[in-house]
Amino acid sequence: MPAVETHNLTKRYGDVVALDGLDLSVKRGELYGLLGPNGSGKTTTIELLTGQRTPTSGSLSVLDMDPVSDPIAVRESVGILPEREDPPSFLTPREYLEFVGEIRGLDNLESRTDEWARKLQFQGILDTLSSDLSEGERQRVMLAQVFIHEPQLVFIDEPLVNLDPLMQAEVKTQLRDYCADGNTLFLSTHFMAVAEELCTTVGIIAGGQLVAERDPRELSKGLLETFAREVQLGSERDDELMDQPKTGDRLEEASTR
Amino acid sequence: MSSLLVFRRMLVEEYRMHTELFGRGRFVGFPLFTAALVAGGVWLLEATGTNLESIIAGLFVLVFLFGLQVGTIGLIGRDAMRNVLGDVTLLVFSGRTLPISRRKLLATFLLKDLVYYIGLFLTPIALGFLPLVTTGDMSLSTVGVLWIALSATFAFGAGTSLALAGIATRNVGAIVALIVILVGVLVAAPDVLVALSPYGLYANPGIESAVASIVGVVTVLIAGPLLFEPPTSGGVRRIESRRFNHLADRGGVFFARSLLEVTRSSGSVWKVIFSLGILFAVAALVLERVVAATALEPSAGIAFGTLLGLGAFTTYNWVTQLNETREYLRYPVSYSTVFAGKFRAFLTLSLPTGVGYLALAGIWYPRLELLLGVLIFPLVSIYVFGVTAYLTGLSPNELLFNTPLFALYGAALAVVAVPLLVAALAFGEFPRYSVGFAVVFSVLTAAVGAFFIRKSGPRWSRRLR
């Protein structure tokens, strides 16, 4: 069974269609990157998959669980890092990780905290109030809370934002190691280089639909060019395009034109 | 860059922020609702024998406090703002990118606040007094003077908060000395402060009072932007105590986090004590006026217990102010657990504060009678927590300009306030019935509150998803 699967997933906010029949399948152990322009439905996709929102229609499953009927079970098994989320201003990183750990019912919290602080190099600020941390330090703390319970599947929106180049390299290594152990990573990003370098599969989303999906290393043209072409196609799609197969075939067609 | 352009953009920014938060229809209806609420409130208070001048004096106090709050909310509470509104960047914060000085931006921001709130809030309040013109209790010119004096009071409050914050960032000793002097003058010669404030213009209209209030308002409006310095980081704060663990062991992680957020943010627990203190002062003033103006002998215990309990909504505001509502949807935890932790934090903060004020009331009122307040206050507080959690979730600020929600919330509080205050007023005539009714009614009220607390978790979980 795939780690993540959606069929005809649709989400409307009033008159606005955020997701329009999204079909998605992410294999276990995959490092999946969802690329798309602003407002294309990336955040909504992650919110639906983690049970933070309920879909208007369609079906979805995450680690063989239904995020609609059992969102808490899904959240127990996954790690989530939304875009631009900071640790609470008036807790220290140590207190915040204890807060998250207690909610998740973890044992050996102290050693887990120390381990992740060491891996992400923030031992020196464990007892500093979060409001006094730099953006990069806050991002490292948020990454630690994603992994502290050793989840099988992780959803991250922009994993490398605000990190310096050395820390970016360190986090990339951590993410690869995490997937090498058989876990699944689902990340959403605007950065082509991140997707190209890290992901084993990249999905391009535009207008609430998956318009292309491929292993970035197999692309005959660069990912940036493919992305631009597919997004343009997505925004200009008409009935004829809607009738075409949605995933690999269209990317193939686009990349060989 | 033209200050007029910045001023207009700031007005649009403020309007968009409020309509985004509360919805355009609900927000636009708020001035009408305010006028109706004031008209109804004045009528009700007059019907219960409260003197019109006392009502207006209380109104001036509230408008001054509102001015104090508005003057600094966008400047000092940026952390709180980001947590409540998400990523918000206001024009007033753009001093480093626009070719306009920070002081000029601040003065424009202050002017925008005055125009905006006078138009949308203070004018409707003054219009709420128009029915008294038709009944002959007030002249149209008096309503006009009231409008001018209330607007000046609001400006006085906004400018004062900026000036005080400016002095505080420069010298804590100076701010303490200034507050001691102000309190000293207030106690020793209250008439002097009244004469120098815009309230003097309303109480004794004339050239002297007009000049005095204009000088006072203009002084603080100039001094505020000149003195104010944006808060800079006071260095890196390290906390190596195990307070979080100790609190979490006692009441869970949501309890621990809520308490630490209140105690470590600006104002610490003093903001809880101060805001409930305002309610206590208003309750004492109303009670004193009722005793002076009528032949009734109200029960201080029932009255204080009820009014302080209702005032506990301010504590609810403090325990939720730093929360981004959707954050809890990302943890494997139900909203019921979150509300349970908030409830424990709410009781931990509000109960000792309320009981402290009841003990303070013991200086002036029969202590045995106030014991009734010690019973009623927590029961009413439970109701207030339940209703606030159920109606507003973790965003009680939404009440501010959401007209239907505000009306519903007001009605929910009135359902409890009116019977209990009537019981308090009837105490002199029917002491046993009054006490019996108040106790039984408060217990039922708490039960209803507990019901709402239980329903709040599932309701907000559904609504937010």
CB contact under 8 A, A103 and B245: no
CB contact under 8 A, B322 and A89: yes
Model confidence at B272: pLDDT above 50: yes
Model confidence at B200: pLDDT above 50: yes
Instruction: Write out chain B residues lying below 8 Å of A76, CB-based.
Output: 332
Alpha-carbon distance A52 to nearest alpha carbon in chain B (angstroms):
6
Tokens read off for A115:
């381990």
Q: Tell me what pLDDT residue B147 has.
A: 95
Judged by DSSP in three states, B127 sits in helix
Secondary structure of B279-346 as H, E, C letters: HHHHHHHHHHHHHHHCCCCCCHHHHHHHHHHHHCHHHHHHHHCCCCHHHHHHCCCCHHHHHHHHHHHH
**Predicted confidence band at B415 (pLDDT cuts at 50, 70, 90)?**
very high
Q: What is the distance between the alpha carbons of residues A139 and A164, in angstroms, rounded to a whole number?
A: 11
Q: What is the distance between the alpha carbons of residues B153 and B147, in angstroms, rounded to a whole number?
A: 10
**Predicted confidence band at A229 (pLDDT cuts at 50, 70, 90)?**
low
* Complete DSSP assignment for B212-267: HHHHHHHHHHHHHHHH-------S--B--S-HHHHHHHHH-HHHHHHHHHHHHSTT
Q: Tell me what pLDDT residue A248 has.
A: 37
Q: Tell me what pLDDT residue B387 has.
A: 97
Alpha-carbon distance A238 to nearest alpha carbon in chain B (angstroms):
32
| CB-based contact, A102 to chain B, within 8 Å | yes
Alpha-carbon distance B12 to nearest alpha carbon in chain A (angstroms):
25
How far is CA B93 from each of CA A105, A203, B99, B323, rounded to the nearest angstrom?
41, 38, 13, 22
| CB-based contact, B232 to chain A, within 8 Å | no
Instruction: Provide the terminal-to-terminal Cα distance of chain A, rounded to the nearest Å.
Output: 35
**Predicted confidence band at A236 (pLDDT cuts at 50, 70, 90)?**
low
CB contact under 8 A, A82 and B330: yes
Alpha-carbon distance B363 to nearest alpha carbon in chain A (angstroms):
38
Q: What is the distance between the alpha carbons of residues A225 and A211, in angstroms, rounded to a whole number?
A: 14
CB pairs under 8 A between A and B: 83
Give residue B343's identity as a one-letter amino acid code.
Answer: F
* Tens-digit pLDDT profile for residues B341-388: 999 999 999 999 999 999 999 988 998 889 999 999 999 999 999 999
* Complete DSSP assignment for B376-416: HHHHHHHHHHHHHHHHHTT-GGGGGT-HHHHHHHHHHHHHH
Domain ranges of chain B: 1-232, 243-465
Tokens read off for A78:
């996954």
Question: Average pLDDT, stretch B50-54?
Answer: 79
Question: Average pLDDT, stretch B98-112?
Answer: 80
At a CB cut-off of 8 Å and minimum separation 6, what does B290 contact?
Answer: B48, B49, B50, B296, B298, B425
| CB-based contact, A145 to chain B, within 8 Å | no
Alpha-carbon distance A41 to nearest alpha carbon in chain B (angstroms):
16
CB contact under 8 A, A128 and B237: yes
Model confidence at B81: pLDDT above 70: no
Domains, chain A, in order of start with CATH, read: 4-256 (3.40.50.300)
φ, ψ at A86 (rounded to 5°)? -110, 155
* Tens-digit pLDDT profile for residues A27-74: 999 999 998 888 889 999 999 999 999 999 999 999 999 999 999 999
**Predicted confidence band at A159 (pLDDT cuts at 50, 70, 90)?**
confident
Residue B330: left (phi > 0), alpha (psi -120 to 50), or beta? alpha
Question: Average pLDDT, stretch A214-237?
Answer: 64
**Predicted confidence band at B1 (pLDDT cuts at 50, 70, 90)?**
low
Tokens read off for B239:
């906390």
What is the percent of chain B with per-residue pLDDT over 70, rounded to a whole number?
A: 90
Return the higher-pLDDT residue of A219 and A127: A127
Q: Tell me what pLDDT residue A222 has.
A: 61
Among chain A residues, CA nearest to B253: A99
Model confidence at A197: pLDDT above 50: yes
Q: What is the distance between the alpha carbons of residues A28 and A37, in angstroms, rounded to a whole number?
A: 26
Q: What is the distance between the alpha carbons of residues A136 and A161, in angstroms, rounded to a whole number?
A: 8
| CB-based contact, B269 to chain A, within 8 Å | no
Q: What is the distance between the alpha carbons of residues A251 and A20, in angstroms, rounded to a whole number?
A: 19
Beta bridge partners of A10: A20, A57
Q: What is the distance between the alpha carbons of residues B107 and A81, in angstroms, rounded to a whole number?
A: 40
| CB-based contact, B233 to chain A, within 8 Å | yes
Return the higher-pLDDT residue of B114 and B45: B114
* Tens-digit pLDDT profile for residues B321-340: 888 888 999 999 999 999 99
Instruction: Write out chain A residues lying below 8 Å of B331, CB-based.
Output: 75, 100, 103-104
Return the higher-pLDDT residue of B160 and B24: B160
The complex's ipTM works out to 0.84
